[in-house]
Structures are given as C-alpha cells and as structure tokens.
C-alpha cells in the first residue's frame, strides 16, 4: 500500500521573478474536492506524531521541468516511550499516480508533464489564518498538569492553619493581604516594629477592652444590676399598691429629643437610691453635689425579652433624634477650653447629612451615646409638674433624676454602644483594605469623631476616679482608686486605638510616601489631590472646611504657636492625690483630634520612626 505524499513545487513566472512555492497536502481535501487554506507560516507540518506523514519534494528548474529525487528519504519520528518509527518516502511515479486519483480543484495549477493539484502559499493566506489554532501544536500537553498544592496538608500544618483562621489575621497583614501567624506579635509586625517602635500587632477586637474600661462600666453588668435592685429596692409598690407612671427623660437643657418610658414608683430599702451625685465646675474646680432622686424604675420582675427589646428600640430612636438635632455639635461639646471639637463635629455632621454615609452616621451615634452616658438623664419639667400630686417627686429643684431608671437605661445604652463600635470597626476594616480613594473621606470623617470619642473616654475615666475618691473622702472612707491607675488606662487608649489606627490610615493611603515611584495622597495639604476625579464633591467640600480650620489664625493669641499645636502638647499631669482637683477636661479636650489633623503635615505628631 502506497502512502500519500505532499508535493512542494517551485515554479518560475514568465517575467523571471523569484520562484513561488506551492504545497499540496492530501489531508486538506474535503468531500467536494476543495482544498482548505494553508495553516499559518509558523506551523510545522510534521511536529506531531499523530499527524499524517508529509513527504516533501522540491521541484523547480529554470526551464520549468520537474526534477525529482528517486531515492526514498527516511524520516524518523520519536515517541515519548523512545520507540522509533521509520517511514520511507515512496518514489515520485507511484505517488504521482495516487494523487491523480483525487478530483481537481479550481485552485489547482499545472506544472511539467501531467496535471497536479497544489495549495498556493502566499503571505496573504498566511496572515488571513494566523489567528486560528494550529492542530500540530502540542504546547498544552507539555505544560505541568496541576498548579498549587498537591495532596492533603500535613496534620501539623493543618492544625496551625486552623488556629490562624480562628484567631484571624492582624490588621497589618489583613490590609496587605499577606500571611499572618498565630503568634502575637506576628513576624510581619515584628519586622515593622524595627522601623516603627510604636507599631503594634493588633486586631480591632483588641480595642474593646481599652475603649470600654471595666472599672467604669462594671456596674452595668446584668448580675451587678440585679444586685443593685435587690439591695436597694423593697418592692415596686407604694403602701402596698402599684403606682405606674409615664415619664419623659432628657439629657439636658436645649435638647428637643426626649424618651418616653412607662415605669413604676418603688419603695426603697436604703437612702442611697434616693439621692444622686451631680458634678459641676466652678471656676475650673470640679465640684460634687448630692441631690434628691425620684423613686422611679423599671420592674425587673415583670420584664421580659419583649420589654427589653422595646426599651432598646426606644433608646435607639432617642439617640438618632439627638444626632439629628440642628445644634447637635453645640449641645454635646463643651467650649470651656477650646471650640475645636465643636467645629469638627459640625463639619462631620454636615458631611454625613449630605452623603448619608452609614459609617459616619454610626460614628456620630456612638459619640452621642457616650455623651448620654456621661450626663444624668433627668425628668423633663413637664413630667416633674405632672407628677407633683404624687408627692414622691421633688419639686423646685433644677434637675430631678430617677437614679434607678437612669442606670437601667444606661445599661441598655452601654450594650448598644459596644455593638455599634464593633460594627464601626468592621466598616473600617472593609473600607481601608481596598485602599480605594473613594473610601478616604468616610474613613477620615469617622476617625475624627472616634478621636473625640476617645478624648471623652479619657476625660470620663479620670473624672470617675476623682469623683469616687472625693465621695469616699467626704464619707470618711479610704479612697478606692489611685489616680495613676486612670492615667495609665488613658495612656493605653492613646497608644493602642489612636496611634495604631492613625498610623495604618497614613500607611494605607500613603499620606507620606517614601517610595519615589508611588504618589502620596494627602488632600489636606496637596492641591493636586483636589483635581477633578480625585475626590467627589461632598468630600472636597469637607476637605476645604478642614483646610480652613488648619490655616486659620490663632484665636487665643498664644505665643507658642497655633491652637492645634498648643492642644497637641502632652499635659503635665500631677501624680499626687490632691482634692479638690481642677477640671481635668482641660488635659484631654481636643488633644487627640489636633494630633491627628497635624499628622497630615508631619507624622511625628503621632508616631516616631527609626529610619
């Protein structure tokens, strides 16, 4: 049996130009006798062991005659198993007779003595089919069959990976999408600490204990609340009869928002729940005053999950109403020492109103909750007047506080505040991780409010210790706390949440880029960042307001520099226990937010480097 062959013929044009090479391949014929176009030029016609054998003969002579090679040419093909297949090229006469049995094609041409069908290879035909696949290519078969890990993990590696997954990655590794370990600090943070001594390996969950000190909020725990009620309340009746009442609570004068609650009068066991301590400041000195409290509270024996959920909903609506107050910034800040927090809150509230950003609104809500926690919830004047006939509510005093009801509502607010803070940190992580510039403004606005929140926590911690010790001194008791304890807790707030989040914010958005190939992004000081397409309109408006705040002249005419520089200075806190103590808000108000704003100009305001 003769094998088919492919003949390549060289012909010469009548004008004596260069020869044209034509190729004939029997495998290109279809049922109609049509010869398909040639494969691209870079294809090798005999590289595949499975392809039909192709025999090549060069025909060409100046006179147009055909010159053949009468001797067979041996072609060796090698398989993967090293088996060699030897095929011989048949003689031209026998091969020519087999080709003449094929039907002719319109694309055929004649050469020499007899007719034959040829496939003309030209540059145009090669380029026309260059995008089609080459059946002779086998590069895919030569590639590795699998990527990644092969086989199951080792037991030790599997257990380690499971621990890391349960523990979660630290924020430094999470934001940069690199592998984190189960040890703390992890390897990446250990390397970072060599350059930045203040850098720590942390997760947002680590800040929960720091921002919500147990010594302040411990009395809001369920068991402590139950003990407080059982130790101080005989029953929720008066002279053996239930006395329900509807009251309205307010956080102070000027607030339009109130919270309506259905409660009951109770009979007290001790005089402790019938008085409430109020803190005020007279000429810079903190002063405590004991005032009468109304015997009103929620009957815990009848409370159920539905009642607690209803109270939570009312509290949530009350906080939302406070945030929506037109004078919110003026009502929840004190301008005794500086107006900076008030200005910041006004700018952020305006941005939140225009953008309706959930993260910024959540930050404002957390700040409002903490403000409610630091003041006494008082009965509104209307409620005090309506309950005058009961002769159980003090009359003619400026503020009347239901101490038991006040603590019960604040216990709910404390749980809500911690839950909202967890959601805020989750939003921070998801927004900072992509490093997209559209998330820069919401993160900036939310963290500015968070700085004010941390200042309030520091003030509350110091004030709590001072107040408790001053009460103990008045009652001829030994002070329970040392002020150094509160100062240490405040230092933890600055070192952990404030410095770490501020540092990572500048790192992720490259506020101060040290890489020559990377462009820094600092809209507060770089005019190029305000070009169209960099920030949206609302973000640009907030940036311009903050710029004016950073550039406005010193309002207090201090010789030590601008007001922000003055506020950012570390206060000289006294170590001795001395009472009465001056207003401690002077040491904390505006300090952290001033440092953060100035860190856009110089990062040394928040953190030191060794490089």
What the block records as the tokens of 430 is: 């998801």
**Residue 446: pLDDT over 90:** yes
Assess whether pLDDT exceeds 70 at residue 568: yes
What digits encode the pLDDT tens for the residues 578-602? Answer: 666 778 898 999 999 999 999 999 9
Of 568, 212, 164, 106, give the one whose Cα is nearest residue 425: 212
Query: Is the pLDDT reported for residue 144 higher than 70?
Result: no
Alpha helices (H) in 218-327, listed in sequence order: 222-232, 305-323
Q: What is the pLDDT of residue 75?
A: 55
CA 201, 204, 206: angle at the middle one, nearest 5? 70
- Report the DSSP beta bridge partners of residue 86: 76
Which residues, in sequence order, are bridge partners of residue 268? 233
The number of beta carbons lying within 10 Å of the beta carbon of residue 216 is 18
Element (H, E) at 403: helix 403-432
Residue 263 β-bridge partners? 245
- pLDDT value, residue 190: 92
Task: Judge contact between 337 and 585, C-beta under 8 A.
Answer: yes
pLDDT at 576 over 90: no
Between 46 and 349, whose confidence is greater?
349
Cα separation, 27 vs 55, in Å, equals 12
CA–CA separation, 126 and 305 (whole Å): 80
Model pLDDT, residue 451: 98
Q: What is the largest CA-CA distance in the chain?
A: 136
Q: What is the pLDDT of residue 265?
A: 97
The 10s digit of each residue's pLDDT in 353-398 is 999 999 999 999 999 999 999 999 999 999 999 999 999 999 988 8
List the one residue out of 603, 585, 591 whose CA is nearest residue 565: 591
Judge contact between 26 and 116, C-beta under 8 A. no
Cα–Cα distance measured from residue 206 to residue 234, given in angstroms and rounded to the nearest whole number: 41
Strand 8-11 and strand 58-59: the pairing is parallel
Q: For helices 440-474 and 340-355, what crossing angle results, to 10°?
A: 140
Contact 455, 494 (CB under 8 A): no
Number of helices followed by number of strands (H, E) in the chain: 21, 16
> Cα dist. 419→168, 171, 208, 362 in Å?
19, 20, 10, 11
Q: How many of the other CB atoms lie within 10 Å of CB of 472?
A: 15
* Distance separating alpha carbons of residues 269 and 281, to the nearest angstrom: 32
| Per-residue pLDDT at 344 | 97
> Sign of the C-alpha dihedral, residues 174, 180, 181, 186?
negative
d(C-alpha 205, C-alpha 492), whole Å: 15
pLDDT tens digits, residue range 448-467? 999 999 999 999 999 999 88
Q: Are 584 and 286 in contact (CB under 8 A)?
A: yes
Band the pLDDT of 16: cuts 50, 70, 90.
very low
Question: Comparing 162-166, 332-336, 439-443, 477-481, which segment has the lowest mean pLDDT?
Answer: 162-166
Whether the pLDDT of residue 219 is over 80: the answer is: yes
Is the pLDDT at 5 greater than 50, yes or no?
Answer: no
Measured in degrees and rounded to the nearest 5, phi and psi for residue 76 equal -100, 130
The predicted-structure confidence for 26-77, as pLDDT tens digits, reads as follows 555 455 544 445 555 544 444 444 445 555 444 444 444 444 445 555 555 5
- The string over 525-534, giving b where at least 16 C-beta atoms fall within 10 Å of a residue's C-beta and e elsewhere, is eeeebeeeeb
Mean pLDDT, the chain, whole residue set? 80
Residue in the block written with tokens 């700085």: 451
| The pLDDT of residue 337 is above 90 | no
Alpha-carbon distance of 24 to 21, in angstroms, equals: 10
* Least-confidence region, from 12-21, 23-32, 313-322, 429-438: 12-21
Residue 303 tokens read as 């409370």
Over residues 467-516, the pLDDT tens digits come to: 898 888 888 898 888 889 999 999 999 999 999 999 999 999 989 877 76
Determine the average pLDDT of the residues in 502-531. Answer: 85
**Given pLDDT bands bounded at 50, 70 and 90, which one contains residue 15?**
very low
pLDDT in tens, 265-303: 999 999 999 999 988 887 777 788 899 999 999 998 776
Mean pLDDT confidence for 535-558? 81
pTM of the model: 0.73
Return the pLDDT at 94.
46
As a whole number of angstroms, the distance between CA 449 and CA 443 comes to 10
Which pLDDT score, from 0 to 100, does residue 2 have? 47
* Alpha-carbon distances, residue 401 vs 224, 286, 404, 564 (angstroms): 20, 20, 9, 38
- Do 175 and 472 meet the contact criterion of CB atoms below 8 Å apart? no
| Residue whose C-alpha is closest to residue 482's, from 472, 494, 469 | 469
Cβ atoms < 10 Å from Cβ of 606: 22
Per-residue pLDDT, 232: 95
Strands of 318-422 (E only): list them: 378-379
CA distance 76 to 552: 88
H/E element holding 306?
A: helix 305-323
**Burial annotation 249-283 (CB, 10 A radius, 16+ → b, else e):** bbbeeebebbbebebbbbebeeeebeebbebeeee
- Asked if the bond preceding 185 is cis, omega within 30° of 0, the reply is yes
pLDDT band, residue 86 (cuts 50/70/90) = low
Q: Which two tokens stand for residue 588?
A: 């904390």
């Amino acid at each position: 049996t003769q094998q088919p062959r492919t003949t390549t013929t060289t012909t010469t044009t009548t004008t004596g130009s260069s020869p044209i090479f034509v190729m004939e391949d029997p495998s290109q014929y279809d049922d109609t006798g049509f010869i398909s176009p040639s494969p691209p030029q870079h294809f090798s016609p005999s590289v595949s062991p499975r392809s039909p054998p192709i025999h090549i003969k060069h025909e060409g002579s100046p006179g147009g005659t055909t010159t053949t090679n009468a001797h067979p040419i041996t072609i060796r093909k090698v398989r993967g198993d090293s088996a060699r297949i030897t095929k011989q090229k048949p003689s031209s006469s026998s091969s020519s007779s087999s080709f003449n049995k094929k039907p002719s094609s319109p694309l055929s041409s004649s050469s020499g003595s007899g007719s034959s069908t040829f496939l003309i290879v030209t540059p145009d035909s090669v380029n026309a089919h260059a995008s089609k696949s080459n059946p002779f290519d086998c590069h895919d078969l030569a590639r590795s069959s699998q990527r990644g890990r092969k086989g199951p993990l080792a037991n030790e590696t599997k257990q380690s990976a499971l621990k890391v997954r349960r523990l979660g990655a630290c924020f430094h590794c999470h934001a940069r999408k690199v592998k984190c370990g189960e040890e703390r600090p992890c390897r990446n943070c250990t390397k970072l600490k060599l350059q930045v001594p203040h850098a720590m390996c942390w997760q947002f969950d680590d800040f929960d204990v720091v921002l919500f000190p147990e010594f302040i909020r411990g009395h809001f725990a369920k068991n402590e609340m139950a003990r407080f009620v059982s130790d101080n309340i005989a029953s929720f009746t008066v002279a053996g009869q239930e006395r329900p009442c509807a009251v309205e609570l307010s956080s102070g004068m000027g607030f339009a928002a109130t919270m309506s609650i259905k409660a009951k009068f109770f009979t007290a066991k001790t005089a402790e729940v019938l008085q409430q301590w109020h803190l005020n400041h007279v000429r810079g000195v903190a002063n405590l005053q004991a005032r009468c409290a109304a015997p009103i509270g929620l009957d815990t024996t009848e409370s159920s999950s539905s009642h607690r959920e209803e109270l939570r909903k009312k509290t949530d609506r009350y906080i939302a109403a406070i945030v929506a107050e037109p004078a919110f910034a003026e009502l929840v800040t004190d301008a005794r020492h500086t107006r900076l927090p008030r200005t910041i809150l006004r700018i952020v509230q305006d941005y939140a109103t225009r953008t309706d950003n959930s993260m910024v609104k959540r930050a404002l809500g957390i700040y409002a909750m903490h403000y409610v926690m630091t003041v006494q919830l008082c009965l509104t004047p209307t409620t005090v007047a309506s309950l005058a006939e009961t002769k159980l509510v003090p009359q003619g005093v400026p503020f009347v506080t239901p101490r038991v009801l006040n603590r019960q509502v604040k216990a709910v607010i404390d749980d809500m505040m911690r839950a909202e803070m967890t959601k805020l940190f989750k939003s921070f992580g998801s927004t900072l991780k992509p490093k997209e510039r559209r998330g820069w403004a919401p993160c900036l606005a939310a963290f500015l409010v968070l700085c004010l929140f941390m200042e309030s926590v520091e003030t509350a911690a110091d004030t709590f210790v001072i107040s408790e010790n001053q009460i103990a001194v008045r009652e001829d008791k030994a002070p329970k706390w040392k002020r150094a304890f509160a100062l240490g807790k405040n230092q933890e707030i600055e070192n952990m949440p404030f410095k770490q989040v501020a540092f990572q914010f500048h790192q992720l958005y490259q506020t101060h880029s040290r890489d020559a190939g990377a462009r820094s992004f600092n809209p507060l000081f770089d005019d190029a960042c305000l070009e169209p397409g960099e920030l949206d309109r609302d973000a640009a408006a907030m940036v311009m307001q903050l710029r004016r705040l950073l550039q406005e002249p010193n309002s207090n005419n201090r010789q030590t520099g601008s007001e922000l520089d003055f506020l950012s200075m570390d206060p000289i806190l006294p170590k001795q226990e001395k009472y009465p103590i001056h207003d401690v808000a002077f040491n904390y108000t505006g300090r952290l937010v001033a440092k953060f704003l100035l860190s856009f100009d110089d990062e040394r305001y928040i953190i030191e480097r060794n490089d």
